[in-house]
A and B are shown apart, each in its own frame.
Chain A
Amino acid sequence: AQSVTQPDIHITVSEGASLELRCNYSYGATPYLFWYVQSPGQGLQLLLKYFSGDTLVQGIKGFEAEFKRSQSSFNLRKPSVHWSDAAEYFCAVSDLSGTASKLTFGTGTRLQVTL
């Protein structure tokens, strides 16, 4: 069964500092990977996705993620964090084996940004 691990429950960074959020996945075939962001009281917004091709993918709001098959990782990065980036970030993997393509989420990383 597919699974996603986000080892960091809570991360605090200063505004302007760089950010890396970790994600490790377990999936038998080529994974289809996502990062979603959830602001307080809001739904889930897609930041970026990866299925194949270039292992460095660009997303919205200046985020990028790198797929590393050898490490089963899909870490999210941003070179300079803004206060508005404070939110909860979820990594997810999609099961492409059936028609459902359900998402399996990690437990999330809560990002706090200090000014």
Chain B
Amino acid sequence: EPEVTQTPSHQVTQMGQEVILRCVPISNHLYFYWYRQILGQKVEFLVSFYNNEISEKSEIFDDQFSVERPDGSNFTLKIRSTKLEDSAMYFCASRASGMYNEQFFGPGTRLTVL
């Protein structure tokens, strides 16, 4: 069964450093998403991406964040200068075209900022 994969599973970084979280969505999906879950809190939407551009972003997704689909398979989230409060689990999701198709989630990347 096709699945969304994410690497790395755990990333530890120093405050102020740049990190890139990587995702490989399901191959025929066209909509891509990043969500985050701070420990003990709910899953929050960050950004959605379709047709090689951001279709929607939340207030959390400020200028420190960027997304890219550098090739036909990967979907990345870059945090330019990490802060302590960026420590969270980051989930990638993808969805096939068609309004009523559900999102499939990857296993997440746990980001720890020291």
Contacts and interface: CB of A to CB of B under 8 A. Distances in A.
Interface of A: 32, 34, 36, 41-46, 49, 51, 90, 92, 96, 98-108
A46 B106 contact: no
A103 B95 CA distance: 12
Given A42-B107, A43-B107, A49-B102, A104 B95 contact: no
Given A42-B107, A43-B108, A49-B102, A100 B42 contact: no
Interface stretch (B13-21, B44-52, B62-70, B75-83): B44-52
Contact of A101 (B58, B95, B104): B95
A26 to B, nearest CB: 15
- Provide the main secondary structure of the chain B interface: strand
Contacts of B104: 46
Contacts of B55: 98-100
Contacts of A46: 102-104
Interface residues of B, number: 26
Contacts of B31: 99-101
Given A43-B107, A107-B42, A98 B56 contact: yes
Contacts of A105: 42-44
A101 B99 CA distance: 8
A96 B42 contact: no
15 contacts: A36-B105, A43-B105, A43-B106, A43-B107, A44-B43, A46-B103, A46-B104, A98-B56, A99-B31, A99-B48, A99-B55, A100-B48, A103-B43, A104-B45, A108-B43
A42 B31 CA distance: 22
A97 to B, nearest CB: 10
Interface in B1-34: 4, 31, 33
